[in-house]
Amino acid sequence: VVQTGTEERRDALDQHLWTFRDDSFLAHATDREAHPGEQPILLTTGDGNPNDAKIRFLVDGAVPPDLGGYERAVFLFDGHDAAQLEAARGHWKVMKSAGHAVTYWQQTPDRRWERKA
């Protein structure tokens, strides 16, 4: 499940996934379409998990639901945006205090990902 903070962001991501490149297509649908439980990737603004996903991606300020049924939660945010960074720090503290194993990865100037914590 990919949860976005707004319907506009969900719809923009949906459009992008349909048109990005022919050789990089990811089968997906939004929560507005029929049969959300049958989708391999579901784009949503809600907190449900109709396709029984094991990983939940939270983007664009999405507020996490209860993450107890997931194997992994991935919070994606713009580290150059002060509000998003502060929200991410808050989520980190909540997840850590709840006993979840937490890690932090940051993109380097050469576009690689480096584990920071």
Mean pLDDT of 9-38: 90
Task: Identify the structural domains of the chain with CATH numbers, from first to last.
Answer: 2-115 (3.40.50.10110)
- pLDDT of 68 reads 86
pLDDT over threshold 90, residue 72: yes
Mean pLDDT of 22-46: 91
Contact 72, 54 (CB under 8 A): yes
Confidence of residue 43 (pLDDT cuts 50, 70, 90): very high
- pLDDT of 23 reads 84
User: Global pTM?
Assistant: 0.87
Contact 64, 73 (CB under 8 A): yes
